[in-house]
């Protein structure tokens, strides 16, 4: 059983709580995400700007050694495909601080079916006293084919127009040939997604959100501001709900206006959420306008939160991974196709806090263990989009200190965040706050998402 003790757990007073329990390794000596990011920051070979799919520019960051002890392999990773690794020679005698070029043969952009990256990996050619042969010391990725805009994803063109039925005063059902969607009219959100005869995917209605659990670094900085402004208590209040059917394009459009606000103070965010529904899926378009007095200076995030039933245990995505990453701590994570159980996505820091985000994500899907019943959410080529999935709500994470205490919630369903934008983490407890370029200022916004 995991056990982590902090100051105060043993009737020891005065104490410093868990202060300085934030090394680069966890107590069991496994690396933290911070150590993984640090390794990337000090890697001895770096791929430079100006690199292309034909010519990779590198610099030797060693102080004394050449690169002769390293092996270089390149491959192509793309949305739902990969090209096998191939070795390429590194020029002999590349001295410390100097640059060199690696020439990549035979990559034809027209042959690549989707968004693609040239991945270059540098590993030890021979075993050393500190690592085995094949240990990766550095890598770089060069974008060579851009992603697909969300507008290009297939929404119209179906020969079948979904049927709209009022189930009861508070439920509106939209039924396609193989899917059914239900909307909570009283609250104005999608509340159920059913595929065939399977149990409905959603456990609770989808909702708009601007808060996440705070990190240890944020408790006295941005997190204090967010909580002081009661961002964690902001909830949507429905203003209007309208439905229209276009039989020419076989599309159903639902528009919901909300005022999202905390129970006190005079700030709010007015949102217009448009659901464009066809037999292929749903495009969700959200437009928001913050207003009122004493607005928070920043948002923690801008996105949607939903709850998937306990059958959805498998997660797949294309974007940065496999480990957690945020906008200001992401370069140690590669673009690629990743798959992981939902239960493994959350990082159990020794003091429970926000964790497990994946950023620069193009799409994410959830299914059962056998890959059946998949529901896929696509961001297209929008920049900085991310997701987080765990078995804990934001309130539960904020209320928990020791990792073993998370078990008390005993939650089977998956809590999923789908974020268009996310504030960085910074190092505010013993270092600088989030740099201005990684902040998420409170201002009008407009985003889209496609669910199929």
> Of 85, 115, 146, which residue sits at a domain end?
146
* Mean pLDDT, residues 157-175: 92
- On whether both 231 and 314 belong to a single domain, the answer is yes
* Mean pLDDT, residues 322-329: 97
Instruction: Tell me whether strands 251-261 and 386-390 are parallel, antiparallel or unpaired.
Output: unpaired
Q: What's residue 155's pLDDT? A: 75
pLDDT band at 196 (very low <50, low <70, confident <90, very high): confident
Residue 380 lies inside a defined structural domain of this protein: yes
Domain of 47 in residue numbering reads as: 33-146
**Res 391 pLDDT > 70:** yes
- On whether both 137 and 266 belong to a single domain, the answer is no
CB atoms within 10 A of CB 403: 18
Task: List the structure tokens of 292.
Answer: 């009122």
- On whether both 323 and 442 belong to a single domain, the answer is yes
- On whether both 217 and 301 belong to a single domain, the answer is yes
Residue 21 lies inside a defined structural domain of this protein: no
**What pTM value is reported for the model?**
0.94
- Do 56 and 142 touch, CB atoms closer than 8 A? yes
The three-class DSSP label of residue 264 is coil
Average of per-residue pLDDT values in the chain: 93
Calpha distance 346→417 (Å, rounded)? 12
- On whether both 137 and 168 belong to a single domain, the answer is no
* Mean pLDDT, residues 319-348: 96
Residue 336 lies inside a defined structural domain of this protein: yes
- On whether both 315 and 180 belong to a single domain, the answer is yes
Q: What's residue 97's pLDDT? A: 96
Residue 153 lies inside a defined structural domain of this protein: no
Domains in the chain, number: 2
Residue 6 lies inside a defined structural domain of this protein: no
Calpha distance 315→117 (Å, rounded)? 22
**Res 137 pLDDT > 80:** yes
Q: What's residue 385's pLDDT? A: 97
pLDDT band at 3 (very low <50, low <70, confident <90, very high): low
- On whether both 397 and 258 belong to a single domain, the answer is yes
Q: What is the CATH number of the domain that holds 122?
A: 2.60.40.10
pLDDT in tens, 96-133: 999 999 999 988 888 888 999 999 999 999 999 999 99
Which residues does 321 contact at the CB level (< 8 Å), separation at least 6? 333, 334, 336, 338, 340, 358
* Mean pLDDT, residues 373-389: 95
**Res 1 pLDDT > 60:** no
Calpha distance 294→113 (Å, rounded)? 49
> Of 82, 112, 146, which residue sits at a domain end?
146
Q: Is the dihedral of CA 363, 367, 369, 373 positive or negative?
A: negative
Percent of the chain with pLDDT over 90: 77
**Res 2 pLDDT > 80:** no
> Of 120, 146, 172, which residue sits at a domain end?
146
- On whether both 169 and 199 belong to a single domain, the answer is yes
Residue 157 lies inside a defined structural domain of this protein: no
**Res 138 pLDDT > 90:** yes
Q: What's residue 21's pLDDT? A: 78
Q: What is the largest CA-CA distance in the chain?
A: 76
Give the distance, in angstroms, between the CA of residue 408 and the centroid of all CA atoms in the same chain.
26
- On whether both 312 and 414 belong to a single domain, the answer is yes
Q: What is the CATH number of the domain that holds 345?
A: 2.70.98.10
pLDDT in tens, 273-311: 999 999 999 999 999 999 999 899 999 999 999 999 999
pLDDT band at 223 (very low <50, low <70, confident <90, very high): confident
Calpha distance 81→86 (Å, rounded)? 16
- On whether both 224 and 361 belong to a single domain, the answer is yes
Residue 67 lies inside a defined structural domain of this protein: yes
- On whether both 239 and 140 belong to a single domain, the answer is no
Q: What's residue 16's pLDDT? A: 85
- On whether both 99 and 178 belong to a single domain, the answer is no
The three-class DSSP label of residue 288 is strand
Residue 335 lies inside a defined structural domain of this protein: yes
pLDDT band at 218 (very low <50, low <70, confident <90, very high): confident
* Mean pLDDT, residues 69-79: 96
């Amino acid at each position: 059983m995991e056990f982590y003790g902090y100051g105060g757990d043993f009737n020891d007073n005065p104490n410093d709580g868990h202060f300085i329990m934030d090394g680069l390794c966890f107590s069991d000596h496994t690396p933290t995400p911070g150590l993984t990011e640090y390794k990337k920051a000090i890697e001895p070979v770096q791929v430079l700007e100006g690199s292309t799919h034909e010519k990779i520019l590198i610099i030797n960051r060693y102080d004394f050694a050449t690169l002769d002890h390293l092996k270089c392999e390149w491959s192509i990773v793309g949305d739902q495909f990969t090209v096998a690794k191939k070795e390429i020679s590194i020029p002999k005698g590349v001295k410390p601080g100097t640059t060199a070029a690696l020439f990549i043969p035979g990559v034809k952009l027209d042959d690549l079916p989707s968004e693609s990256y040239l991945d270059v990996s540098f590993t030890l050619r021979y075993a050393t006293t500190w690592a085995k042969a094949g240990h990766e010391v550095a890598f770089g990725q060069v974008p060579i084919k851009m992603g697909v805009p969300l507008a290009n994803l297939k929404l119209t063109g179906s020969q079948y127009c979904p049927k709209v039925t009022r189930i009861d005063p508070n439920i509106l059902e939209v039924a396609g040939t193989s899917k059914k969607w239900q909307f909570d009219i009283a609250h104005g959100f999608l509340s159920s997604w059913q595929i065939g005869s399977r149990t409905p995917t959603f456990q609770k209605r989808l909702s708009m959100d601007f808060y996440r659990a705070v990190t240890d670094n944020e408790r006295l900085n941005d997190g204090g501001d967010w909580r002081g402004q009661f961002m964690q208590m902001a909830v949507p209040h429905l203003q209007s709900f309208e439905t229209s059917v276009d039989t020419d394009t076989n599309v159903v459009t639902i528009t919901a206006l909300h005022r999202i606000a905390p129970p006190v103070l005079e700030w709010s965010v007015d949102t217009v959420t448009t659901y464009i529904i066809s037999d292929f899926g749903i495009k969700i378009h959200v437009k928001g306008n913050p207003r009122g007095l004493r607005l928070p200076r920043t948002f923690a995030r801008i996105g949607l939160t939903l709850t998937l039933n306990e059958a959805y245990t498998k997660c797949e995505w294309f974007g940065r991974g496999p480990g957690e990453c945020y906008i200001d701590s992401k370069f140690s994570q590669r673009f690629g196709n990743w798959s992981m159980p939902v239960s493994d996505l959350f990082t159990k820091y020794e003091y429970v806090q926000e964790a497990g985000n994946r950023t620069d994500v193009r799409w994410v899907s959830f299914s059962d263990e056998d890959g059946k019943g998949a529901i896929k959410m696509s961001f297209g080529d929008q920049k900085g989009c991310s997701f987080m999935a765990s078995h804990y709500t934001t309130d539960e994470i904020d209320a928990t200190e020791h990792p073993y205490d998370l078990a008390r919630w005993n939650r089977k369903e998956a809590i999923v965040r789908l974020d268009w934008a996310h504030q960085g983490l910074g190092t505010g407890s013993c270092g600088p706050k989030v740099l201005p370029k990684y902040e998420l200022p409170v201002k009008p916004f407009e985003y889209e998402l496609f669910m199929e």
